[in-house]
Amino acid sequence: MSGADLWSLAPLIVPALAGTLVMLLGGFNANRRLHHGLAVGALAAALLCVGMAYGTAPRTVTPLLIIDSYALFFLTLIYAATGLLAMFARPYLAVREKDTDAFYALLLFAATGMGVLACSNHFAALFLGLEILTVSLYTLIGYLREDSRSLEAAAKYLVLAALSSSFLLFGIALVYAATGTLLLNPAFRAIADLAPQFGQQAEAAWALAGGIFLFVGFAFKLALVPFHMWSPDVYQGAPAPVTALIATGSKGAVLAVLLRAVGPVGLGEIGGAAGITVLAVLTMFGGNLLALLQDDLKRLLAYSSVAHLGYVMVALLAGGVAGAQAMTFYVLAYVLTTLGAFGVVTILSSESPCEADSLAAYRGIGWRRPWLAATLAVMILSLAGIPPTAGFLAKVAVLGAAIEAGRLGLAIAMALASGVAIYFYLRVIVVMYMQEEEDATEASSLPSSFANAVALLVLVALVIAIGLHPTPWFEAVRVAVATILPA
């Protein structure tokens, strides 16, 4: 491996080494500020390395990894989101006396796994990145060992994540048997070529079966209906910052590698397009209808996440350059919005040992904590797709791609599902502002941590800025997608 290769891999090497360093320092130094500072500093350094890597991109480092504009776009999103989560996490962990080196080391290893996924060009790299991420999440979800809900969530995630990994491994084995390659794009192209010959060649049967197993594995990771059963329980039981990591960075990384694998071929061309379409519709309506029944904000956001992944599937089914760009832009808007929503949940949960997850805990917060309530309201409106927010333009982009691809039925289903979702999103805002101002008790309107206040302000500014002036963001998405799917 040359020096240029190592330089290109610096965005992956830095968080991995930093995680190891934090873990080792934990045995010698109990300074919590040092561990937190190293984690945030390492992620900032990784972002700096991402910027420098643009000078050498695109570069294939062994057959396993590819560092190109597409990978660097997602690395920027993943590391920025993880860095903000590290800042949100410190007060949350401090009030629970769990602000230790282990959390930050695991967070850095999870960031490494997500980075490997974004750069994967080979099934071996995909599985390695997925396992680094998943094993880190096992421990992070159960990090509050005295909390039975946290341990229960970790056990459920362990069982179902292991099941989904077995589906992925078996699918990889079948695809390799049929195609003779483990490279992502050639393998999926071979599946698309062999799918029409099902029943005529044994290789076609193996390829199609392998593709189905692979998709089921991805469906578990993304919590698509009916593979979503783990999502609400894990979101509710995990510590709030970890829930945010699952909902944003981990979903974004899996979607990044999925689009790289199937984007050039087209998800609808691989086989079973009708079944995947049904799955997308079930996911959109299932997530939104189940969210209507929730009185727990974290569970509500879990089902909301399920529905949003259904919208992403619409973009993937649309295919082509427009579909890939719409999906990437949607992931950008979704990650920023969901990060802001869970940031507010984490900050409110940092003010007592109890989790601020019940909707009742947000009653009247619009008068008692106006800035936090306004931040959550902006994020909720963006999730609902109300202008002028990033979420609105993201939905418009997906609908436009679906209509352009001739999938009018999917577009109509998405519009109807989004209409259903408005009810439970607006319900959260009504709960926050239903208490009369004169009855509100005196309380500080800002988060206790200045860094967290700045982080929330940045997220609100980004969500609104994308909604008001999307051109530079669409251009960044276009450049990233052009690497894997030239116009």
pLDDT tens per residue, range 62-90:
889 999 899 999 999 999 999 999 999 88
Q: How big is the CA angle at 38 (ends 36 and 41), to the nearest 5 degrees?
A: 105
**Does 277 score more than 60 pLDDT?**
yes
**Does 442 score more than 60 pLDDT?**
no
Count of C-beta atoms within a 10 Å radius of residue 37: 15
- What is the average pLDDT across 363-386? 90
Give me the sign of the Cα torsion angle 314, 316, 318, 322. Answer: positive
Q: Cα 108 to the chain's mean position, in Å? A: 16
Average the pLDDT over each of 43-47, 300-304, 406-410, 449-453 and give the range with the smallest value.
449-453
Q: 382 is written with which tokens?
A: 């963006």
Instruction: Specify the long-range contacts of residues 149-157, CB closer than 8 Å, at least 24 apart.
Output: 149/236, 149/237, 150/237, 150/238, 150/239, 151/237, 152/233, 152/237, 153/233, 153/234, 153/236, 153/237, 153/238, 154/237, 154/238, 156/230, 156/233, 156/234, 156/237, 157/230, 157/234
Which pLDDT does position 440 carry in this prediction?
A: 44
Q: Cα 416 to the chain's mean position, in Å? A: 24
User: How far is Cα 452 from Cα 449, in angstroms, rounded to an integer?
Assistant: 5
Which pLDDT does position 45 carry in this prediction?
A: 94
Which pLDDT does position 172 carry in this prediction?
A: 93
Q: Please confirm whether the linkage preceding 58 is cis (ω < 30° from 0).
A: yes
pTM for this one?
0.92
Please tell me which residue, 444 or 7, carries the higher pLDDT value: 7
- The string of pLDDT tens digits covering residues 209-238 is 888 899 899 999 998 988 888 889 999 989
- Grouping H, G, I as helix, E, B as strand and the rest as coil, residue 66 is strand
Which pLDDT does position 93 carry in this prediction?
A: 86
User: How far is Cα 324 from Cα 487, in angstroms, rounded to an integer?
Assistant: 11
**Does 92 score more than 90 pLDDT?**
no
User: How far is Cα 325 from Cα 328, in angstroms, rounded to an integer?
Assistant: 5
**Does 447 score more than 60 pLDDT?**
no
- What is the average pLDDT across 148-160? 89
- What is the average pLDDT across 321-333? 93
Which pLDDT does position 477 carry in this prediction?
A: 93
DSSP 319: -
C-alpha Rg value of the chain to the nearest Å: 22
Report the percentage of the chain scoring pLDDT > 90.
Answer: 51
- Grouping H, G, I as helix, E, B as strand and the rest as coil, residue 358 is strand
User: How far is Cα 216 from Cα 252, in angstroms, rounded to an integer?
Assistant: 17
Which residues, other chains included, contact 166 with Cβ-Cβ below 8 Å and sequence gap of 6+? none
